[in-house]
Amino acid sequence: MPATSAKRLRSGLGPSLMMFALTVTMAGCDAAGSEQNAGESATSRVPHLTTANKKGMPLDDYLLNPSQFEDVKSAYSQSIAKCVRSYGMTFETPNPSATPSALPDSPTTRIDGRFGFQSMTYAKKWGYHPPGGISKNKEKATKNTDADPDKWFALTGSRNIKEMSGPGGVLRNGKRVPSHGCVGSAVMQLTGSRDGQIGDADISTDLKFETLIKARNDPRTLRVFSLWSDCMREIGYSYGGPLDASSDPRWTESEKPTKEEIEIAVADQKCRKRHNVVGIWFAVDSEYQERAVTDNRAALSEAKKQLDRQVNAARKILLTH
């Protein structure tokens, strides 16, 4: 199966160059043959769970957790801002309070929950909506660069405002801008190289999404999804699987959850509990991750070294800024 792609933070991100962009491209994938059915013994150690958010997973050690993610993100943006200001230019860092918070039932050991909504309490209050509902106020994003060529040059090392990085050079005031500008300097502080990659290593991210898809297509998971679907149909709702219910496009049409959305979200949690959907799904997903760690131990060990370097460097930056 081809690796699932994901957009990752590198030294040449988009115009803002301040925030991580984590876009998951989920494509259909067949997990067939012996790979799909391997490890059936895992069903003998399936936990009974309504939520897996407090359960660790094998790949967690090779990926940024939410706290580390925030540290690296903040250190990256603060390092860029300090560098740009050293050239006598203004540059604002994002307001931490403006950063979207995680769902109340989100895990603390990994960025993504993987198993969808897992809280009856939350379902009864917000359905599938984010906390507080969906804001319909669309504010125009502002660029720190203000279309200022000199500021863009200091930021990226490129004199072309349409380019995300360049070789650097000398500003009109005589100060030298290094290759990739202040963005490159921030990347170097965190990774040790101006061309380094901030965030999770490709190997860790690829394995995370590959195992995610394999687990969702495993016969054991599909079987329990079918039981969940039958349960929902008995209550009066028709969905092929739990993620179909939570991703129903109707839920994005209103700022606050509708009565029907809450009823479906509550039924979803009831059917998950009745058939131990999360427990089976978690066991199968963990099994694929265990195998992925075993098969890629050397590469993952190197990925962890780079991850630890970023986290340690980020903490030092935050202490000195």
Q: pLDDT tens for residues 168-220?
A: 899 878 889 999 999 999 999 999 999 899 999 999 999 999 999 999 999 99
Judge contact between 53 and 42, C-beta under 8 A. Answer: no
pLDDT exceeds cutoff 70 at 223? yes
pTM of this structure = 0.79
pLDDT exceeds cutoff 70 at 143? no
pLDDT exceeds cutoff 60 at 15? no
Contacts of the segment 193-199: beta carbons below 8 A, 24+ positions apart:
194/11, 195/11, 196/11, 197/8, 197/9, 197/10, 197/11, 197/306, 198/9, 198/10, 198/11, 198/20, 198/72, 198/76, 198/310, 199/8, 199/9, 199/20, 199/64, 199/69, 199/72, 199/310
Between 166 and 296, the more confident residue is: 296
Comparing CA positions, the residue from 25, 116, 109 lying closest to residue 62 is 109
What is the spatial distance between Cα 226 and Cα 83, in angstroms, rounded to a whole number?
Answer: 55
Q: pLDDT digits over 259-311, tens only? A: 999 999 999 999 999 999 999 999 999 999 999 999 999 999 999 999 999 99
What is the spatial distance between Cα 171 and Cα 84, in angstroms, rounded to a whole number?
Answer: 12
β-sheet bridge partners, residue 6:
24
